[in-house]
Structures are given as C-alpha cells and as structure tokens.
Structure 1
Amino acid sequence: MGSSIVIRGEKIAVAISPDGAEPVSMRDEDDHEYLWSGDDPWHRHAPILFPVICRVPDDRIRVGDETFPMPQHGFARDRRWTVVDSANDRVSLVLVSDEETRKHFPFDFALAATYVTEGRTLTTHYTVENRGDEPMPFALGSHPAFVWPLEDGQPRSMHQIRFDEPETAPMRRVVDNLLTPERFDNPAWERVVTLNDSWFTDGAVILPEVASKSLTYSSPQGRVVRLSWEGFTGITLWSVPGARFVCVEPWRGQPAPVDFVGQFAGKPGNVVLPPGGRETLSYCVELL
C-alpha cells in the first residue's frame, strides 16, 4: 500500500492514499477485499470528483469574462492532499486552493475529506468551504469501485443493487461524458437493478434525482455492501463491460449538458456557495 494510511475499525481496515485522498483498499476481518485493485481497464479505486463531475463542453469553464481549462472529473483526484489529523480509526485530509488550482478554477476554497472506521463501517465526510469573496459554484462526487463479483467464483449476473425506495425519476446517459437530453425509464422503479454488462455498453447509468437514502449491493451467496448517504442527490452506476468492478457513486451535481454554454455558475446541478459558506456531505459503506 506504499505511503497509504491504514485506519481500522473492529472488523474493517481501510487504506487511504494522500494522492487524491483516495481509498485504495477496504478489507473485512477475513481479509476479504471489497475495493477494486486499480488494474486494467481502470486504474483508480475511489476517486473524488471536484469541482466538476464528468466533463464540461470543450473542457473549459467560463467565469466572468475568462475561460479556464477543466480536466475530466476536475483536479482533486490528481492532487496530493495534506494530512491534517490521523488516529487509529480516522484520518482527515485537506486540499486548499493554490496557484495551480487557480489555473483551472479561479476560486479560493478548502476541500476536506475525513474517513472514520467503526465496526464494519467506513464513513466518509466531505466539507467544501468558500474562502473567497465571490459565490463559488461546484459539483462534488465520490467514485468508489467495488469488486464484481463480490467473491471469486460467483456469477456476476446474479449481483443486485437494491434501493430502499422505488426510483421513478428518469435515468440519464452521457456521450463523451456530457449529459444527453434524453430521459429513460428508471431501471430501479421496482427498487432492484440486476447487474449485467449490457447496462454499461452505453456508459454510466445516471440517476440524478434519487428518492432513496441508502441501497445495498449484494452477491448471491451472502456478501453485502450497504451504502447510505446525506447531502448527495444522485447515484450513478458505472463499469466497463467485462471488467470485474462496479462503481456505485454518490453525486451532488451532474455532468454538463452537451449543449451547455454560459457561466459555470449556471451549469445545471451546481451548488453555489456564498462567500464564507460551507457545504457538508457524507456517506457510509457498511460491510454486512
């Protein structure tokens, strides 16, 4: 795990890398791994998406009279964060605006990620702070990739995502990671999505408005991951057909529409923080 910081609950061990403040391993008391290894075809584990989710047209944002280059999923996942607090069962890291971030995002901010383990649960807290004098727009997402199948030898096609409420709001899709205008029937309208590679031949399954506050990801033979959230408004499912992972992603915000133009503050789904404002979001992963 290299320079990763390992935190432990009674029955869980989680490794966090300061590079991107990204969890890179999550193991239970049997040393069973629940997070994706980061091998081909996707070399990440659970990156933080900030200040954009997916892309913006031409990979540029407009703020006032200027435009700024903005990489896919923002820059937070590719920066080294500062560890500000660490104990056996928790670690806090922070990313603060600097000369490099202002080349892409001309705002003064602090983004903190705190990870806490207890029992068989990892709780992730994010706090976004606007330290500038102008309103600050942003989106924030988490992108954890869980192993699929949850245990070797189990059929991938028998794994399910079960929401705690019926999901009736339309499903959305992206092309080149930009949101298309089409609305589709929600696959979770009866709460349950049975995972299949065919879901992902057209990319991510985006549920931008979820009624649920939790879901479970389960295997046919007992292993279950329960994910619950506060402050996030959407859930996205993503994989690469044939890959042995599935991402279950809490989002606050959404990709830019394919035809979006104008000020970044007006991008649909953005949070706009007033000067001195803070936004706090969290989610829990429990290994059942």
Structure 2
Amino acid sequence: MHESAAVPSPSVAAVRARRAVAAIFFTNGAVMGSWAPLIPLVQQKLHLGTAPLGLCLLGMATGAIATMPLAGGLVNRFGSAPVVRLSTLSVCGAILLPTVAPDPWLLFVALLIVGAANGAMDVSMNAHGIAVEQALRRPVMSSYHAMYSLGGFTGALGGAALLRAAAYPLAEAATVGLSFGAFSLAVFRFLLAGSVDQGGSGHAHFAFPKGLAMVLGLLCFLVMMAEASMLDWTAVYLHRVLAADTSLAAFG
C-alpha cells in the first residue's frame, strides 16, 4: 500500500510534464535568443559584409529544414521524450560553435549544426507538448509558445547584460549553454515516458501537404521568415547603421 501511494497519479504526472515542457520551450527561446546579440560581434570578428553574413546565416535555416523531417521519424520510432533530451542538450552545446568559427565557411557549418539541433528540438518539444495536452485533456499549447517568447526575451536581455559586463562572445555563449543545459537536465525527469507517443502514427513516411495544410504551412513559413529576419538582422542594423553599442543593439 505504501509503495502504490508513492507513485504519482497520471494527472499529477501530466501536470509535472506540462511544467517540464514549458521549461523546455523557455530554454529553446532563451538559448536561441542569446545568439542575436552575438551576430554583430561575429560579423565584426570575421570582417563579413552583409551578403556573406546572409549566406552564413542561411546555414541555420538549412540545418533546420534538413533535420525536421528526420526528427519526426525519430519521434515516431523512439517517442518524443528521448529526442527532446538529446536535441535540447545539442542546442545548448552547439550555440558555442559560431563564436569560435575562424572563417566564414566554418561559421556556415557551425550555424548548420545549430539549425539542425534546433530543428530537431522544435519538432520533438512540440510533439511532446501534444502528448501532454492529450494527457491533460485540455489545450495548453499556446502557453508553451508564450514561454518560448518569454525565453527569447530573457536570452537576448541576458546576453546583452553579459556583453555589457565585458564578456567575450564565447563566454556569453558558454554561460548560456551551460546554464540552460544544467536547467534542462533538472527537468528532463518530469517528461512523460517515451512510450506515450512512440509509434503513434504507425509507419512514418513523408507526405506532401495539400489543401488547407499547404495554406497553413505557407503562412507559417512567411511568419517564421519575418521572425528570423528580425532575429538575424535587427542587432546588426542597430550596431552597424545606427552605431549602437553591441549590448544596446541586443535589445533589438
């Protein structure tokens, strides 16, 4: 009797998982948001013009697009929880790579890796969020995306504060990556079991979207393109064109 009483009921486990997923979304926003203040510094370090920088930044989108379909297959095979764990830690580690890239080619590769890890994290954390929604039997997805936005603001603000304290780009990225990596390790145990959504859709295969799914997909693409443009270029514009200090430009 004592052992069965110590096991959390499914509802308690679902509530804990909701908080864990919210923390993962916050982590994703914070880590990726911390990259924005570093872009002008990396551009200055490698003496990049706007066109070469734009090509390098394209690496992040390329990595994400390449990984997202693969991540869906991994979620279907192993469940979303293991993919969330691996991809979250990968994002926290990969965010250091662009700060140590010695030339534009390796910067592209570094951002390709960051984008690939972020794409896998994006797919898996949303999939796990859906599993938690089903366990709770009520919609909570919008609250996860609110946490992502809050994380992005926190990451940019924290990155700006670190740069104002004379931190080097690598030190800023390492502080963010290690902090949120440790934070993620603390919340992983509250995720639902991988078996919850393992093999949920049977044999997974790619299907080209049609009809309303195509319209919604194009709409999401346009929204994400606008968001990425602001993330990648606002700090550069404030620093290079308006001569704002790098720590101040981070608030863009």
Q: Settle same-fold status: TM greater than 0.5.
A: no
TM-score range, shorter chain: under 0.3
| Structure (1/2) with the larger strand percentage | 1
| Structure (1/2) with the larger helix percentage | 2
